[in-house]
């Protein structure tokens, strides 16, 4: 039926072929003229494709697993060199440092190891003892375990243990490590892994983690937007079309919800979901989508009210169409442009909100990770390992950037005389 | 005016009542309590603990008790930090958060309006392009990315600012980075809003009239354009403030600021119910009162709105 109509439309009353210029074709033409929007569209498409096909990429061997941990490979910097070489480089740097430390201590004649701290190794730029960060440090560095063992020892027999001994011990161990690495580097395939974007503090590939984080973030953005749009359309169109008491009741409800501090309510919901529930993405969806439909509902209601007295609605009604048919067949398609614009602008805000919660530790939790989780993990060690912060942060920012540009572009294209252009 | 003010004040009461009620029941109805541990506590001890927090009473009685307490501005003891009351924690953090929030908001408003006007007056010239690309960055980049990145480069690498410590140790310098971080998104939005509305007002008839009268351009801008153009900005202040309040939670976490935001996050993670409730009430009060102020200012600026 719908197809038939379209075919008839392409011929005018003089039987001439008319190329129809629909709103959509028109909008598409305008959008294509906006260069930033087109570039953004490509980039967003790229993100979606990569995150969508990341399991395929992984099974094809292009992408590494985001859960695989190699303790040897923790905190490697971004590089095109194989991991083995990087580890050796790092160990050699550490070796030089230890030697220097021994030399200077020896020269100062300060051999006794003063009480208390087991961490007094002199400057150690690559290995950080972030004990107080807790939580994530299941894959503790050998050195850290050593240090802990050492504190215990010092408590038992503090004066038998001297500083030089401990440094000497580590020196020997580092030497042995380098030696064994040199032997295995060409035979063990693990050491030939290349981490273009470095690794995190558990030796996981940052590239894979960022892509999988994007997968979750984008998914939450999409699902959240879809739910919000569906609820918003339903409530908004009923409220707008039916009017009267229903409208009054629904809109007062929306007003009250509006006056609630949105993020605080979401935080309460995440908090009462508790430790078990907190990790679950479903609750996050529910919490965010529960409140986010308000704006859409208002917008749709406004549009419907302005359209419901127009002639085509009158015509439909006189032909006997029921309320649902008028709403869904006649009114909603006419508000679609506004809804699309709002959804594109809603999605980045969802992603931001989800990441906001994850950043605070109230959103997605391990083993899953969203961009927000990755950024918050990166913040912990950013002084020494800036890439762990910058890689997810930049990836996320670029995506949000493009979504915003795309939203602006769509608004200009679909709604050229829009008043509220910020 | 006075009648409007009183009516508007009274309309705050149901909003706050709903917030208190909603959060109270949301929290109490949820399965599992703050005293659920991995290790089972003996029944008698659990009963004693529940009794101490009046959690053994029927729900409605707890609710009315809590309402009474809130009316007396008493939020009860924290469930996690046994020796501190929620009031104490909020009182301690409040000045710090207030300084941060107010400085961020004023930064956002003054810089935003200033930059917006300049870029509208120099439309499609380089100041406009620079300002607007900065604004796009501000809108797209989340707070928790801006914060750590500024901290990393300006505080840790370049050492221009202290990375975390609050006023006591570093004086006013410590406030700059957190306030800038918090203000940035709202600065960006206000700048865009001001630009758009100044451009629109510049095209209007009364501006042409003002110019035709031979007024100086500076007078036209300051007296005629601004008054009309600032209206959308004033409307945006409500959402901006609410964003700054929620954003301060992140900024306080990133910059280790002893405000009320950090205890709030901790409370949410620890399920410290009394603390969550207290914080939510305080935050809501700030937001609701701020919205009232915005409404009043709006009426003062726009003569078309009359208080009847």
Instruction: For residue A87, give every residue at least 6 positions away whose Cβ sits within 8 Å of its Cβ, in sequence order, or none.
Output: A72, A73, A76, A181, A191
pLDDT band at A162 (very low <50, low <70, confident <90, very high): low
Q: Rounded to 5 degrees, what are φ and ψ at B224?
A: -100, -50
Domain boundaries, chain B: 19-71, 93-301
pLDDT band at A358 (very low <50, low <70, confident <90, very high): confident
Q: A266 and chain B: CB distance < 8 Å anywhere?
A: no
| Interchain pair A376, B144: CB under 8 A | yes
- Chain A nearest-CA residue for B249: A360
- Rounded to the nearest angstrom, the minimum Cα separation between A345 and chain B is 11
Q: Rounded to 5 degrees, what are φ and ψ at B112?
A: -60, -50
CA distances from A40 to A45, A47, B135, B212, B264 (A): 8, 10, 17, 44, 37
Which of B26, B145, B153 has the highest number of chain A CBs within 10 A, making it the mutation to test binding with A? B145
Secondary structure (H, E, C), B230-296: HHHHHHHHHHHHHHHHHHHHHHHHHCCCCCCHHHHHHHHHHCCHHHHHHHHHHHHHHHHHHHHHHHH
In angstroms, the CA B38 to CA A313 distance is 62
pLDDT at A159: 47
| Interchain pair B144, A375: CB under 8 A | yes
Q: Is the pLDDT of residue A42 over 90?
A: yes
pLDDT in tens, A72-105: 777 777 777 777 777 777 777 777 877 787 777 6
pLDDT in tens, B242-275: 888 888 888 888 888 888 888 888 888 777 888 8
- Rounded to the nearest angstrom, the minimum Cα separation between B168 and chain A is 24
Which of A128, A261, A290, A419 has the highest number of chain B CBs within 10 A, making it the mutation to test binding with B? A261
The owner of tokens 């707890």 is B62
Q: B136 and chain A: CB distance < 8 Å anywhere?
A: yes
The owner of tokens 């939790």 is A365
Q: Which of A356, A361, A401 lies nearest to residue B140, judging by beta carbons? A: A401
Q: Which H/E stretch holds residue A9? A: helix A2-9
Name every chain B residue with its beta carbon within 8 A of the beta carbon of A264: 246, 280, 283-284
Q: A291 and chain B: CB distance < 8 Å anywhere?
A: no
Q: Which of A264, A360, A397 lies nearest to residue B145, judging by beta carbons? A: A397
Q: Which of B151, B193, B269 lies nearest to residue A422, judging by beta carbons? A: B193
Q: A400 and chain B: CB distance < 8 Å anywhere?
A: yes
pLDDT band at B110 (very low <50, low <70, confident <90, very high): very high
- Rounded to the nearest angstrom, the minimum Cα separation between A189 and chain B is 35
Token pair of A50, please? Answer: 């990569």
Q: Percentage of chain A surpassing pLDDT 70?
A: 74
Name every chain B residue with its beta carbon within 8 A of the beta carbon of A372: 144
Q: A376 and chain B: CB distance < 8 Å anywhere?
A: yes
Secondary structure (H, E, C), A294-354: HHHHHHHHHHHHHHCCCHHHHHHHHCCCCHHHHHHHHHHHHHHHHHHHHHHHHHHHHHHHH
CA distances from B213 to A23, A251, B161, B228 (A): 44, 46, 51, 18
Q: Is the pLDDT of residue B133 over 90?
A: no
Question: Which residues of B, range 56-85, sit inside 8 Å of A by Cβ?
Answer: none
Q: B269 and chain A: CB distance < 8 Å anywhere?
A: yes
Radius of gyration, CA atoms only, chain B = 24
Higher pLDDT, A396 or A199: A396
Q: A6 and chain B: CB distance < 8 Å anywhere?
A: no
CATH 3.30.750.24 is held by the domain B93-301: no
Q: B219 and chain A: CB distance < 8 Å anywhere?
A: no
Looking at residues B116-124, what average pLDDT do you find? Answer: 87
| Interchain pair A390, B149: CB under 8 A | yes
| Interchain pair B271, A271: CB under 8 A | yes
- Chain B nearest-CA residue for A381: B152
Q: B284 and chain A: CB distance < 8 Å anywhere?
A: yes
ipTM: 0.79
pLDDT in tens, A306-357: 888 888 888 988 998 888 888 888 888 888 888 888 888 888 888 888 888 8
Q: Which of B27, B242, B284 lies nearest to residue A272, judging by beta carbons? A: B27
Q: A263 and chain B: CB distance < 8 Å anywhere?
A: yes
CA distances from B147 to A132, A399, B176 (A): 21, 18, 11
Q: How far is CA A332 from the centre of its chain?
A: 32
Name every chain A residue with its beta carbon within 8 A of the beta carbon of B288: 259
Q: A268 and chain B: CB distance < 8 Å anywhere?
A: yes
Q: Which of B15, B140, B192 lies nearest to residue A422, judging by beta carbons? A: B192
Question: Which residues of B, range 175-194, sit inside 8 Å of A by Cβ?
Answer: 189, 192-193
pLDDT in tens, B147-198: 888 888 887 777 777 766 665 666 677 788 889 999 999 999 999 899 988 9
In angstroms, the CA B75 to CA B178 distance is 29
Q: What is the DSSP letter of A190?
A: G
Q: Rounded to 5 degrees, what are φ and ψ at A65?
A: -70, 145
Q: B24 and chain A: CB distance < 8 Å anywhere?
A: no
CB pairs under 8 A between A and B: 124
DSSP assignment of A57-92 equals HHHTTSS--SS---GGGTTPPS-SSBHHHHHHHHHH
Q: Which of B152, B242, B250 lies nearest to residue A389, judging by beta carbons? A: B152
- Rounded to the nearest angstrom, the minimum Cα separation between B260 and chain A is 13
Q: Is the pLDDT of residue A110 over 80?
A: no
Instruction: For residue A106, give every residue at least 6 positions away whose Cβ sits within 8 Å of its Cβ, in sequence order, or none.
Output: A164
Q: What is the DSSP letter of A192?
A: G
pLDDT at B111: 92
- Rounded to the nearest angstrom, the minimum Cα separation between B234 and chain A is 14
Q: B18 and chain A: CB distance < 8 Å anywhere?
A: yes
| Interchain pair B242, A390: CB under 8 A | no
pLDDT at A10: 63
């Amino acid at each position: 039926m719908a197809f038939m109509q379209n075919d008839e439309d392409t011929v005018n009353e003089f039987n001439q072929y008319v190329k129809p210029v629909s709103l959509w074709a028109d909008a598409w033409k305008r959008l294509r003229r906006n260069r930033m929007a087109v570039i953004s569209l490509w980039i967003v498409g790229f993100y979606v494709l990569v995150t969508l096909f990341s399991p395929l990429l992984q099974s094809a061997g292009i992408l590494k697993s985001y859960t695989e941990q190699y303790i040897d490979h923790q905190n490697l910097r971004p590089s095109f060199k194989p991991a083995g070489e990087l580890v050796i480089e790092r160990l050699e740097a550490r070796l030089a440092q230890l030697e220097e430390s021994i030399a200077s201590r020896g020269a100062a004649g300060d051999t006794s190891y003063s009480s208390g701290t087991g961490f007094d190794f002199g400057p150690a730029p690559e290995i950080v003892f972030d004990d107080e960060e807790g939580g994530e440090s299941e894959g503790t560095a050998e050195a850290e375990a050593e240090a802990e063992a050492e504190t215990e020892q010092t408590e038992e027999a503090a004066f038998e243990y001297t500083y030089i001994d401990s440094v000497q011990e580590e020196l020997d161990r580092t030497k042995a490590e380098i030696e064994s690495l040199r032997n295995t580097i060409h035979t063990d395939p693990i050491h030939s892994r290349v981490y273009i974007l470095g690794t995190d503090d558990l030796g996981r590939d940052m590239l894979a983690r960022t892509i999988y984080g994007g997968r979750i973030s984008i998914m939450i953005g999409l699902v959240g937007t879809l739910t919000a749009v569906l609820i918003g359309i339903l409530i908004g169109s009923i409220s707008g079309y039916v009017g009267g008491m229903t409208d009054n009741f629904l809109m007062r409800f929306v007003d009250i919800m509006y006056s609630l501090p949105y993020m605080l309510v979401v935080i309460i919901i995440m908090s009462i979901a508790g430790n078990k529930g907190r990790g679950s993405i479903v609750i996050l969806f529910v919490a965010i989508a529960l409140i986010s439909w308000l704006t859409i509902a208002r917008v749709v209601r406004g549009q419907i009210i302005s359209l419901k007295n127009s002639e085509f609605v009158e015509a439909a009604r006189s032909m006997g169409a029921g309320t649902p048919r008028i709403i869904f067949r006649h009114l909603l398609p006419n508000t679609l442009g506004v809804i699309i614009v709002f959804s594109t602008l809603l999605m980045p805000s969802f992603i931001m909100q989800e990441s906001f919660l994850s950043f605070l530790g109230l959103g997605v939790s391990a083993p899953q990770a969203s961009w927000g989780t990755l950024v918050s993990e990166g913040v912990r060690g950013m002084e020494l390992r800036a890439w762990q912060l910058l890689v997810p942060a930049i990836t996320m920012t670029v995506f949000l950037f493009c979504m915003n540009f795309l939203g602006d572009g769509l608004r200009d294209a679909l709604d050229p005389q829009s008043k509220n252009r910020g | 005016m006075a009648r409007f003010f009183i009516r508007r004040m009274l309309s705050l009461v149901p909003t706050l009542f709903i917030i208190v009620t909603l959060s109270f029941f949301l929290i109490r109805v949820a399965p599992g309590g703050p005293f659920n541990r991995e290790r089972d506590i003996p029944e008698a001890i659990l009963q004693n603990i529940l009794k101490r927090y009046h959690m053994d009473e029927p729900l409605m009685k707890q609710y009315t008790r809590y309402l009474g307490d809130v009316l007396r501005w008493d939020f009860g003891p924290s469930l996690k930090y046994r020796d501190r009351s929620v009031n104490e924690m909020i009182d301690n953090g409040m000045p710090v958060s207030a300084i941060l929030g107010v400085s961020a908001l004023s930064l956002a408003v003054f810089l935003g309006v200033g930059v917006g006007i300049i870029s509208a007056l120099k439309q499609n010239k380089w100041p406009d392009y620079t300002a607007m690309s900065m604004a796009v960055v501000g809108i797209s980049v989340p707070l928790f990315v801006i914060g750590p990145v500024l901290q990393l480069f300006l505080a840790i690498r370049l050492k221009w600012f202290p990375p975390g410590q609050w006023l006591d140790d570093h004086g006013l310098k410590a406030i700059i980075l957190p306030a800038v971080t918090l203000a940035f998104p709202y600065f960006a939005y206000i700048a865009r809003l001001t630009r758009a509305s100044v451009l629109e007002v510049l095209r209007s008839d009364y501006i042409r009239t003002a110019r035709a009268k031979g007024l100086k351009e500076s007078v036209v801008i300051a007296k005629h354009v601004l008054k009309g153009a600032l209206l959308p900005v004033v409307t945006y202040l409500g959402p901006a403030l609410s964003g700054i309040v929620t954003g301060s939670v992140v900024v306080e976490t990133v910059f280790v600021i002893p405000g009320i935001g950090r205890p709030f996050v901790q409370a949410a993670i620890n399920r410290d119910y009394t603390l969550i409730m207290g914080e939510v009430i305080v935050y809501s009060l700030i937001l609701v009162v701020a919205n009232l102020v915005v409404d009043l200012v709006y009426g003062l600026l726009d003569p078309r709105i009359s208080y009847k």
